[in-house]
Structure 1
Amino acid sequence: MPIDQHGDTTLEGVSIRGLPKVSLHDHLDGGVRPQTIIELGDAIGLEVPAAEAGELADWFAERSDSGSLVEYLKTFDLTTAVMQTAEGLTRVAREFVEDLAADGVIYGEVRWAPEQHLGTGLSLEEVVEAVQSGIEEGEEAAEENGRDIRVGQLITAMRHTDRSLEIAELAVAWRGRGAVGFDIAGPEDGFPPSRHKVAFDYLASEFFPATVHAGEAAGLDSIRSALIDGRALRLGHGVRIAEDLDVVSRAGDEVLVEFGELARWVRDREIPLELSPSSNLQTGAIERWGTEMADHPFDLLYQLGFSVTVNVDNRTMSRTSLTRELALLAEVFEYDLDDLETFQLNAAAGAFLPIEEREELIELIAEGFER
């Protein structure tokens, strides 16, 4: 079946785009519309590699499909360049929320690093305020179009810089005003969460939740550090937890697996894995298992009872949507609507919301899938 970023796919006669969804791993600077990049770039005299939105979308897709996280991250130089003013940040955030709503998302968490948007003299407070304004405008626009959506900020520190404590304090200061959690992002290999232990200790003392990029470009030690040093309640990607699984035998649909202690801990504690199938292929995160979607350990982790969630990571770079990711998984692994609902319920349960609001979200998902 044809699957594209902006199209829709039916499963069991039901529109996947129309199903209620939860997005936990979605980068603001990874979801900027190509046309917006062209327009904002023109306003600041930025040289953009294509003059037409479709051509620019092609450029992102080609550059991102490198098999290297480091090369993948280089494409963000262009998107962050047009996100250095309050006006640019607000517009990007507003359109981001509108795109989520059009994708059927009813709750989303958008992660972004304020320290990367200070190029024109804005303060950390000012950039967070600009993004929050855009989020609220996007929520209002979605409501006017008959869609209900709520979006919270995951304030993110860059793991290769030394501002994590300052960014953690910023995140806590914005609790109740839009910020729902904290993250570290950027080059993973060589920059373990333990480098930011002081920031994570502070967040723990404030009872402020954290998710940590781990198990993407680095392996089990990175995941271990995320859980111990970062006190992560979720794992950003976390796909390489499958390295701690030893497939002993296969007989038809039956798979005998021996768990390592780390994998068993993550599975038994129901620590959500923020898996991003297309992105994991592009960055080489699953190269140990292969280079095709069918090689992704997503299904193995799901069948073994891990709390798997489905995410886009970066809509622009991966030229994808949550609808597309779900459709791809359904096609490759022959999932049905019950499977897709499980992924959304896992995400809702792992959302950085009070339990009462998570329960309401779970009810909305159940009702939407039942309809």
Structure 2
Amino acid sequence: MPTPLDESSIRTAPKVLLHDHLDGGVRPETVVDIAREIGYDELPAPDAPTLAKWFRDSADSGSLERYLETFAHTVAVMQTADGLARVAREAAEDLADDGVVYAEIRWAPEQHTEAGLSLDEVVDAVLAGFREGEQAAAERGKRIRVGAIATAMRHAARSREIAELAVAYRDKGIVGFDIAGAEAGFPPTRHLDAFEYLRRENFHFTIHAGEAFGLPSIWEAIQWCGTDRLGHGVRIVDDITAGGALGRLAQYVRDKRIPLEMCPSSNVQTGAAESIAEHPIGLLRKLQFRVTVNTDNRLMSGTSMTREMALLADAFGYDWADLQWFTINAMKSSFIGFDERLQLINGVIKPGYAALRA
């Protein structure tokens, strides 16, 4: 008989995560600890449990200003090499404990230089933390491989600089590039020089598109910028009729197998979806788009990969075959080499789900 599908059993399943923000997944205890160490006295709550509730309530408030305020506090405690390394190490350990075997974690180096760190020092600290986290997890019998994605802020003018930074570290742990931030008013085409540079360097990149803004954002990200993946991409559903007929853009995205980095709980919080049960992921899975499941900001959403998969299983009646499908989609869409992807699919993911279905 198959293993009953619940949060406890899902946690044991091998999972792959492509869209997770480092500053959105800090442990509340760590925020409090580092704030005390560096003399940061602007936290809205004095202890970890109360602070965790504040982060979640703010993210659920429906106020974009309040939601963005949460990141001001996490970024504030990520301004030293020790702080960055600790946050990165704990992120790797937490994901490994949640059954994630491969993760791509993104962060914006330009946001972590306020205390005098150079961009290189920021990257070195984060990559060192990831490696320490992988090792600590391995010592507990947990396997995880972490790839870093360097993010540039779309409202700023440093995307080419961050793209060059990412390429410089391509053999040291950075596997891709991203732009993030407000979509409306800051189209991805503002950063064409960065994307053209990345393509010349044969380097992978993803673009936040189709979350807060609609189809034009997705179209620009694909046809002008040449993105490999779409960060969220929820609004592609706007190009699909109620009867399931695909418009030209949706057809192209599906035909080209362009991965959609969907983050169900986060999408509900930001208003990109009404609820988990009404999330476009259900329709897009039926229509065989290259859909992946992700966490986005684990702290703000109070979530994990286990929780996201459990919510989807409950909402759409998914079984182990469906969860394996999402996981293999993500592994196929990752930014590491083909051989390593294949090894994880055939050596870890398929055997892991086979055992749960047996």
Q: TM-score range by the shorter chain?
A: over 0.9
Q: Counterpart of 2:258 in 1: which secondary structure?
A: coil
Whether 1:238 and 2:233 are equivalent positions in the alignment is yes
Q: Equivalent residue for 1:279?
A: 266
User: Residue in 2 aligned with 1:163?
Assistant: 158
SS at match of 2:86: helix
For 2:335, the equivalent position in structure 1 comes to: 352
Secondary structure in structure 2 of the residue aligned to 1:247:
coil
Residue 35 of structure 2 corresponds to residue 41 of structure 1: yes
Contact 1:103 1:321 in 2 (8 A): yes
CA contact (8 A) 2:7 2:307 kept: no
For 2:18 and 2:68, the matched residues in 1 are separated by: 19
Higher helix share: 2
Cα displacement (A) at 1:14 = 7.2
> What root-mean-square deviation, in Å, do the aligned CA atoms of Structure 1 and Structure 2 show?
1.4
Which residue number in structure 2 is paired with residue 55 of structure 1? 50
Which residue of 2 is the match for residue 3 of structure 1? none
- Name which of structure 1's ranges 174-183 and 58-67 shifts more when overlaid on structure 2: 58-67
Q: Which digits, 9 at most, give the CA deviation of each residue in 1:197-231, with x for residues without a partner?
A: 00000000000000100000100000011112321
1:3-14 paired onto structure 2 within 5 Å: 11=5
CA distance in 1, matches of 2:62, 2:272: 8
Change (3 A) 1:263 1:368: same
Counterpart residue number, 1:153: 148
Q: Which residue of 256, 260, 265 corresponds with 1:269? A: 256
Question: Secondary structure, in 3 states, of the residue corresponding to 1:367?
Answer: helix
Unmatched 5+ stretches in structure 1: 1-8, 249-256
Cα distance in 2 for residues equivalent to 1:133 and 1:14: 31
Give the direction of change, closer, same or farther, for the CA distance of 1:113–1:12 in structure 2 (3 Å limit). Answer: closer
Please tell me whether the aligned partners of residues 213 and 237 of structure 1 are also in contact (alpha carbons under 8 angstroms). Answer: yes
Q: CA deviation at 1:12?
A: 7.2
Question: Does the Cα contact within 8 Å between 1:67 and 1:281 map onto a contact in 2?
Answer: no
Q: Does 1:342 align with 2:322?
A: no
- In 1, distance between residues paired with 2:222 and 2:7? 41
Q: Which residue of 1 aligns with 2:26?
A: 32
Residue in structure 2 matched with residue 120 of structure 1 by the alignment:
115
Q: Alignment length, in residue pairs?
A: 351
For 2:85, the equivalent position in structure 1 comes to: 90
User: Amino acid of the residue matched to residue 350 of structure 2?
Assistant: A
Determine the structure 1 residue equivalent to 2:106: 111
Equivalent position SS for 1:181: strand
**What residue number does 2:350 align with?**
366
List, as ranges, runs of 4+ consecutive aligned residues in structure 1 with deviation greater than 4 Å: 68-71
1:203 aligned partner: 198
**Whole-angstrom CA distance in 2 between matches of 1:10 and 1:211:** 35
Q: What's the TM-score, normalizing by structure 2?
A: 0.96
**What's 2:282 paired with?**
299
Q: What is the rounded CA distance, in whole Å, between the counterparts of 1:201 and 1:13 in structure 2?
A: 43
Identity %: 58
Equivalent position SS for 2:142: coil
- Structure 1 Cα separation of the partners of residues 173 and 336 of structure 2: 11
